[in-house]
Structure 1
Amino acid sequence: MKKLQKCSGGLIRVFCCLSAAFMMLPAGFAAGTAILPLNTVEDVAAEEPSFSKNDFVGSLQEALRTGTISDALSLYGSIPADYAEDTDLLLLKASLLISDSRFDDAKQICSALNAKDASNTDAIEMLAYIAKLQGNTAERNKQIKLLLAKDAYNPAANMELARDYFDGKNYAQARLYYKKALVREPDNEDALFGLGQSDYFLGAKDASKDKEAEATFKKILERDPSYAPAYSYLGKIASANNEYRLASEQIKQAIAIDPTNYDYFMDCGTYERYLGNFDAAEQAWTKAISIQPDYFLAYAYRAGLYDEQDKYEQALLDYENVLKYNPQYYFAYESIGVLAIHQKQWQRARQAFERCMEMDKTGNISYPLMVTYCYYMENNKLEAKKFSDKVLRKLDRNSIDYAMLRVFHDEAGEMPLPQKINAIDNGNKKGKMYFYLGLYYDMFGGIEAAKQFYTKVVDMKSPMFFEYRLAEWRMEADADASKTN
């Protein structure tokens, strides 16, 4: 069933408001059965039932429940002439037209109502919303100014401006406009939630805002215990303060209310991982994948979890899925390359590092060195030299990058490198170059020299570059081999 669209920015609340208002009409007015003075039974004549706005709204609701918006709109053909220009019913019709994406028809109705009564803020709110949906920013801003000119605290207008600032990450200004919206409607759920969100993001620099955000979300839940997003943000606040058990409890309440929300399961997995509950984290991210299997993020998180638990083949499969659904996710290629090296899947690793090269904009020498290494490990010395020769032609001959790749290409000339590497100021760069010198010796038979340089890398205690993991794995493998022997 095609349903009414949820209107953003708080601009359209007409359908719900009118429905509630009509349900509260006096029974006599609603049903057209007000008591009339009667003298005798003979005075009573059979009458056709009179039109009732209350009944009409009920018919609209039933049409929406069982059919489509078009079915509901068709009921307007049965309205008596006396009600054809009824403002309430026309506003309701405009909201239905908006939900049916018939924006021009809705605009025509609202413009006519505004021309008849310039004080009708519901019509102006709808015009602003229509302009927003049509991407007409100038018209939308014009209507918002009209609303604010009539009432500086108009909730709908202030909430729209608040969202503008929120989307621009100006949370302090967004907060001010949400507060203004709450002056007229202190229990407006959307405005309260926006205020809480703004305070949550401001809490990154001002811890006191976390308390204010928490109080706001709790206020929402006091009025509406089924409001899942409030639980979600209470979880985020707890997590930001390293209270992961509380965060887990809060997000699980959100999930109980809305068990098909992708983001909730993503957050749940994160909190469980911080708590060391790896199985629960895996289950949460697996559930997120089942909800939205063609979105990459849960695969990336689960891949990292598998990697952390040394489940490398499962991690590789998840990284492949990351790239299936987001081919531009650069770091997945690097992760595949590193894990494939560890698994001695040389072709797979080379292809991943080749993609890293294609996407890299910084000239990172790590990728050409790893591609060259993989060619050697594939016993394809000819391609190793052809590939590295092409890269060498583009490098500065006086650079350490050139010197290292030259050694890989020539299989010789490494003796001056330790002194050159030792002179590097950047710690990460120095560590990477020590790793590649160790890798060179590993390839060409200098096992003890390789261990010496791998040890220098591991002793840095600085896993800020992927080569650190490879050096660590290599040293662990040597240690395990020594125990076996």
Structure 2
Amino acid sequence: MMNRNILFSICLLFFLFLMILAGCATKATVKPGTSLVTPEKPGTGEPGAEQPVPEKQPEDPYRQIEELVTAGETGKALRVFENSIKEKATSEDLSLFGLLLVSDGKFEEAKAAFLESLALDPGNTEALYNLALYEGLSGDTKKQEEYLRSILAGDPENADAQAALGEILLDRKKTADAKQVFTDALALDQGSISARMGYGSVLMAEKNFMEAAKEFSAIIAGSPDFMFAYIDRSRAYQGLEKFGEAETDLTAAIAIDPGYAWNYLDRGRLRVNRGKLYDALGDFDKAIELDEDNFFPYAYKAGILDDLGRVDEAVAAYRKVLELRGDYYFIYAPLGTLLYMRNQWDEAGSFFAKAYEFDKQSFEFVLLAGLCYKRGGNNTKSGEYLTKLLPTIPRESLYYHVARFLLEPGYDNQAIYYISKEKDENMKTRMLFYLAASYVQQNRISLAQTYLLEVKDKSFPGMIEGRLAEWELAELQSPSISGN
């Protein structure tokens, strides 16, 4: 799936294409001296019996191309160009041909057309600008900048080139320079979509969301079908905490291009934040339908399914994320948590261990991995893992003493002593879980329940230990105790 920057550049090329094409398209003309009105028979006022038949004028190929492109028939438009124009194409024609090829996704052929256009007329600014945007699409911003500065050297008042240069500066985090360039471009052409979008992006970077929203609104007023103005205004509204308006704008963007998967992803994320989980789930499913190779919607879908208690479906979605992006470490801990709750101890431990590899300051992952291996009956693996990592844990921390508790059966009293002395209530609560879970395995149910209830009552949102404590309590109330 194309990313936003590429698609945005293609949209700008497409708008430019339509404007240029409209200038080239001409209405069918009548041969000089030929009337389309049937002459009257002299002296009778009646239509003559023998009248010259007007010659049928060939259909204007530019008009045909314009109509086909507007209808989304780019392939047919290309064939019209190749059959009717290409043989005697001018520099301007070849520039149009390149834009057609871009619209059809034939980028390398488009570049060749732009270069051929410049070969015929080195002063063709439109071809040079199109070539600059092509290089931007290809990711070669250095070459793009060279072309743009070449345009501006000969035409300092070229607003489109100014705006494109501003985008490069903005991408390089040169916000002040970009703002000045966009301001200059708008002074030259108030109607430049790219300049106003860029200026709005600068305002977003400055967190001036109110003024940014006004800029995007101005674009929408003049070009109501320009999707990216709605997307960026949605971002501005979110900055203003106008979440309803933000969702409305994303819905409008989807209506303009129902096949652009990122809009469903963005609306789904917004709906999650608004607590509209089922609506968000529908958006993520649609994003997956449109682009099944993008791992992001699977990750968000898994999170929702997890929140809804649909554990098996959540695990399946997390596994799909790993299939598409195995190093997406943000899901290691959530997946490890769900596998713990399915008694899949060894695999759960491996994911907590992986989570620690990506976050060396989260020592709870070490404890969770060691606990999982132990709960699965693999004391050797648990011992080897904890022994290896114990030296990396600060000795003055509770993590260290709880790790020793998991390693050494006789370390209970010391661990309990250090936990009782801990002033951080959240830390104390979390560490009690590891004692309780170990006591479940040792069948010391009464003591385990006491600690689990305390952890459950004092846990905070997002605390893995609190969630697992709640699960452990539910398991203890079931006919058989899992994990013993």
Asked if these proteins are the same fold (TM beyond 0.5), I'd say yes
Give, in whole Å, the separation in 2 of the partners of 1:244 and 1:397. Answer: 47
Mark the CA change 1:323 to 1:236 in structure 2 (over 3 Å): closer, same or farther: same
Give, in whole Å, the separation in 2 of the partners of 1:324 and 1:22. Answer: 50
Give, in whole Å, the separation in 1 of the partners of 2:8 and 2:393. Answer: 56
For structure 1, list consecutive stretches of 5 or more residues without a partner in the other structure.
Answer: 37-47, 204-208
The equivalent residue for 2:108 is: 101
The equivalent residue for 1:379 is: 377
Measured against aligned partners, the alpha-carbon deviations of 1:333-391 in whole angstroms (never above 9, x if no partner) come to 2111112222333244234334335x435164433432332233223334434444444
The equivalent residue for 2:24 is: 22
Deviation of the 1:254 alpha carbon: 2.4
SS of residue paired to 2:412: coil
Deviation of the 1:309 alpha carbon: 2.2
For the Cα contact (< 8 Å) 1:12–1:126, is it kept in 2? no
For the Cα contact (< 8 Å) 1:69–1:100, is it kept in 2? no
Q: How is 1:402-481 mapped onto 2 (pairs within 5 angstroms)?
A: 402-421=400-419, 431-451=429-449, 453-454=451-452, 457-458=455-456, 461-463=459-461, 465-474=463-472
TM-score when normalising by structure 1: 0.76
The equivalent residue for 2:45 is: none
Identity %: 24
SS of residue paired to 1:289: helix
Deviation of the 1:299 alpha carbon: 1.6
| Aligned residue identity for 1:410 | E
6-15 vs 152-161, which moves further: 6-15
Give, in whole Å, the separation in 1 of the partners of 2:9 and 2:249. Answer: 27
Deviation of the 1:307 alpha carbon: 1.9
Matched length: 448
The equivalent residue for 1:189 is: 193
For the Cα contact (< 8 Å) 1:94–1:110, is it kept in 2? no
Mark the CA change 1:242 to 1:408 in structure 2 (over 3 Å): closer, same or farther: same
Aligned CA RMSD, in angstroms, stands at 4.1
For the Cα contact (< 8 Å) 2:91–2:118, is it kept in 1? no
The equivalent residue for 1:200 is: 204
Q: How is 1:260-339 mapped onto 2 (pairs within 5 angstroms)?
A: 260-339=259-338
Measured against aligned partners, the alpha-carbon deviations of 1:403-459 in whole angstroms (never above 9, x if no partner) come to 433332332222112343456677765554343233333333444544555566556
Alignment partner of 1:89 is 2:93: yes
Measured against aligned partners, the alpha-carbon deviations of 1:209-242 in whole angstroms (never above 9, x if no partner) come to 2222222222222223333333333333333333
For structure 2, list consecutive stretches of 5 or more residues without a partner in the other structure.
Answer: 1-6, 35-54, 480-484
The equivalent residue for 2:152 is: 148
| Aligned residue identity for 1:344 | N
| Aligned residue identity for 2:215 | T
The equivalent residue for 1:343 is: 342
Q: How is 1:127-142 mapped onto 2 (pairs within 5 angstroms)?
A: 127-129=131-133, 132=136, 138-142=142-146
Give, in whole Å, the separation in 1 of the partners of 2:250 and 2:134. Answer: 35
For the Cα contact (< 8 Å) 2:152–2:161, is it kept in 1? yes
Mark the CA change 1:347 to 1:138 in structure 2 (over 3 Å): closer, same or farther: closer
Mark the CA change 1:171 to 1:9 in structure 2 (over 3 Å): closer, same or farther: farther
Give, in whole Å, the separation in 1 of the partners of 2:285 and 2:121. Answer: 52
SS of residue paired to 1:416: helix
Mark the CA change 1:297 to 1:73 in structure 2 (over 3 Å): closer, same or farther: same
| Aligned residue identity for 1:211 | M
For the Cα contact (< 8 Å) 2:97–2:113, is it kept in 1? no
Mark the CA change 1:131 to 1:409 in structure 2 (over 3 Å): closer, same or farther: closer
SS of residue paired to 1:231: helix
For the Cα contact (< 8 Å) 2:151–2:161, is it kept in 1? yes
Give, in whole Å, the separation in 2 of the partners of 1:137 and 1:227. Answer: 24
Give, in whole Å, the separation in 1 of the partners of 2:423 and 2:388. Answer: 28
| Aligned residue identity for 1:309 | L
Give, in whole Å, the separation in 2 of the partners of 1:420 and 1:275. Answer: 41
Mark the CA change 1:428 to 1:70 in structure 2 (over 3 Å): closer, same or farther: farther
288-297 vs 177-186, which moves further: 177-186
Give, in whole Å, the separation in 1 of the partners of 2:127 and 2:138. Answer: 16
387-396 vs 305-314, which moves further: 387-396
For the Cα contact (< 8 Å) 2:8–2:228, is it kept in 1? no
| Aligned residue identity for 1:303 | A
The equivalent residue for 1:168 is: 172
SS of residue paired to 2:108: coil
The equivalent residue for 1:72 is: 81
| Aligned residue identity for 1:22 | C
| Aligned residue identity for 1:21 | G
Deviation of the 1:155 alpha carbon: 1.8
Mark the CA change 1:461 to 1:165 in structure 2 (over 3 Å): closer, same or farther: farther
For the Cα contact (< 8 Å) 2:145–2:165, is it kept in 1? no
Give, in whole Å, the separation in 2 of the partners of 1:133 and 1:286. Answer: 29
For the Cα contact (< 8 Å) 1:303–1:316, is it kept in 2? yes
